[in-house]
Each structure stands twice: as C-alpha cells, then as structure tokens.
Amino acid sequence: MLIIEQKPQESIREYVYRFLRMNIIDLNLPPGQSISEQDVATQLNVSRTPVREAFIKLAQENLLDIIPQKGTYVSLIDIDQVEESKFARETLEKAVIQQACVSFPSEDLLQLQTSLALQELCISEKNYHRFFELDETMHGLIFKGCKKSRTWNMLHLMNAHYNRVRILNLKVKEFEWEQLIEQHSALVRAIRENDVVLGKKIIDLHLNKVVVDLEHLRNEQGHYFLPCKQQTFTMTNK
C-alpha cells in the first residue's frame, strides 16, 4: 500500500480512512484482496480502533466486504454501482457544464488551464495516479465555479466503483491519455468561449467513454468484477 502523509488538523480516524480509501480506489489494494485490521494498524503505527472504524465506514460505502468468521476483503467492482454513478454524473455534470459555458469565474478558468498543463506533464512522466488526481480536481473546479461544490462532494462519495474502473483503464491503456487531454482541452475551450453546444458534446463523449472501457476491462480483468446479472450498461443516446 502507498503511504500518504497525515494532513494538518486531520484526526487519526480521518487519516486511516483516507489512507485506506485512496489505496482501494487506486487499486494498490486490488478487488478481492484480503485485508486485516492488525496489518493496517501495524503499518500505520496506530491502534486498531481507528482502523476498525475505517473498515466499518468503507463497508458502508461497499468498498470492503466484512465476512464474519472469515475475514475482510476489498470488494469486487460492482457494475450496477458503476452504472448508477455514470447516470448521476451525466445527469448533473451536463447541467453544470451548460451553466459553466454561459458564465464562469475567470480565476477558476485560470485554474482549469493550469490543471491542463500539469496533466500534460503527467503524460510525459507516465504518472497515472497524479493524472487521475488532476482529472478529478479539474471536474471539481468546474462544479466549484458554478457554485455546486456540495454536489461534486456528493458525487465523489458515490463514485468509488466508477473511479476504480477509470484507474484500471488508465493503468492498462496509456495510449488513451492523449484522448482524455484532448477532451479536457475542448471542455476548457467551450467554457472559455461560452460554447454550450461544444461543452455538451464533449461531456457526452467524456462520460460515455467508461462504457467502452468497461467492456474491454471485463474481458481482460474479469476477476476484478462481480458477476453481472444482466447487461444494463449502455451508451447514452446523443
């Protein structure tokens, strides 16, 4: 697992939870892997109490499966939860992008442009982890610029399974990073030029990419996914 620094003013409980959640999303703790309270407590040099509390919280988010008398395991990726997260992001982010293309603060636009430059650097360094962080930050900035930060925070909490698919795809398909940058650049251009039509077109392409990615990943990395009861994951009509 990747060790991260504890933030100032962050409690041990908050730190342990953030540490575990980040490693699950980033696939340093891959789907299906067993994990123990004692091992985590030893690695972080903390008592088992905050670890136990983090396990319970992560189980409530469907990121850990706690099985009595057997153990605790990182949950497999649930296609239904990926679909629900995609639905929520499409529904909300399309509306936010439309608003951003009408009116957006200049200082937030500057931050978006800075993020694009850093994403380019991540591609040259093949740093998928930092690229993903910047991707998330960029989308969060768009929500912030439209005074919808709480909406983004809500999406962040329900996007765990969706984001694991995105991380897995970044790991195995580096050649697509340039495509993502192009889409991000087009989004920023649409916001800068008040082009609502372009903004809606690009966000459609951007969010529907996970449909194609998912089909490929389930064929190549099927052991990371829960068996699918039925195929309900479809491309949104434009």
6: left (phi over 0), alpha (psi -120 to 50) or beta: beta
Written as six digits, the tokens of 95 are 């509306």
Q: Which residue has the higher pLDDT, 171 or 204?
A: 204
Question: Is the per-residue pLDDT at 217 higher than 90?
Answer: no
Contacts of 214 (CB under 8 A, 6+ apart): 79, 82, 165, 233
Written as six digits, the tokens of 64 are 């850990």
| Average pLDDT value for residue range 45-73 | 94
Written as six digits, the tokens of 106 are 């200049």
pLDDT at 126: 84
Q: Compute the chain's Rg from CA coordinates.
A: 19
3-state helix, strand, coil split of the chain in percent (to 5) is 70, 5, 25
Contacts of 52 (CB under 8 A, 6+ apart): 37
Backbone phi, then psi, for 30, in 5-degree steps?
-70, 155
Angle at 199 between CA 94 and CA 108, to 5 degrees: 90
pLDDT at 125: 86
Q: What pLDDT, in 10s, does the model give residues 178-216?
A: 888 999 999 999 999 999 999 999 999 888 888 778 888
Q: What pLDDT, in 10s, does the model give residues 7-37?
A: 898 999 999 999 999 999 999 999 999 999 9
Residue 230 — pLDDT band, cuts 50, 70, 90? very low
| Average pLDDT value for residue range 56-82 | 93
Contacts of 56 (CB under 8 A, 6+ apart): 66
Q: What pLDDT, in 10s, does the model give residues 126-149?
A: 888 888 899 999 999 999 999 999
Long-range contacts of 37-40 (CB under 8 A, 24+ apart): 37/72, 40/16
